[in-house]
């Protein structure tokens, strides 16, 4: 997915649905995907993040929230693959806006669901 494709889903993002969806899928999808989603969320709400990045982030998070997507979320093991791809694409696009403070906020929130998660569990973005 590229940034233009992600932007068409930004209308599906809203704060309440984001937290509801993330809470519902956290244990199923694991620490890494949740961490990426949290990093994107905290980058989105950071007032210093440029608007063009916010549109892509809202699109990626909106795609994650949307129940009907390329691979429906209810399909075991494969249902979150397209959501994961959207999050990775968005992180790659907005990487320069992701600050150490944003990562710290994401790690702190992640600890509520995954108290034993380590940096090695979080991949390159840690």
Helix (H) or strand (E) holding 89: helix 81-94
DSSP letter string over 3-20?
HHHHHTTGGG--HHHHHH
Per this entry, what is the length of the chain? Answer: 126
Q: Could you tell me the CA-to-CA distances from 67 to 61, 75, 111 in Å, in that order? A: 12, 11, 26
The model's pLDDT over 9-53, given as tens digits with 9 standing for 90+, comes to 788 788 888 888 888 877 777 889 899 999 999 999 999 999 999
Over its C-alpha atoms, the chain yields an Rg (Å, rounded) of 13
CA–CA dist 31, 43 (Å, integer):
18
The model's pLDDT over 46-78, given as tens digits with 9 standing for 90+, comes to 999 999 999 999 999 998 888 766 566 556 556
Q: Which residues of 84-99 are buried (b: 16+ CB within 10 A; e: fewer)?
A: bebbbbbbebbeebbe
């Amino acid at each position: 997915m590229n940034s233009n494709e992600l932007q068409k889903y930004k209308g599906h993002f809203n704060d309440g649905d984001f937290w509801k969806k993330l809470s519902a899928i956290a244990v199923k999808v694991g620490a890494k995907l949740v961490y990426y989603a949290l990093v994107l969320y905290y980058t989105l709400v950071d007032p210093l993040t440029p608007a063009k990045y916010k549109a892509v982030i809202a699109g990626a998070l909106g795609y994650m929230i949307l129940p009907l997507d390329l691979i429906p979320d209810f399909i075991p093991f494969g249902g979150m693959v397209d959501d994961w791809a959207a999050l990775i694409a968005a992180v790659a696009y907005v990487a320069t806006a992701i600050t150490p403070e944003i990562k710290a906020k994401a790690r702190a929130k992640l600890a509520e669901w995954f108290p034993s998660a380590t940096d090695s569990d979080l991949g390159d973005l840690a």
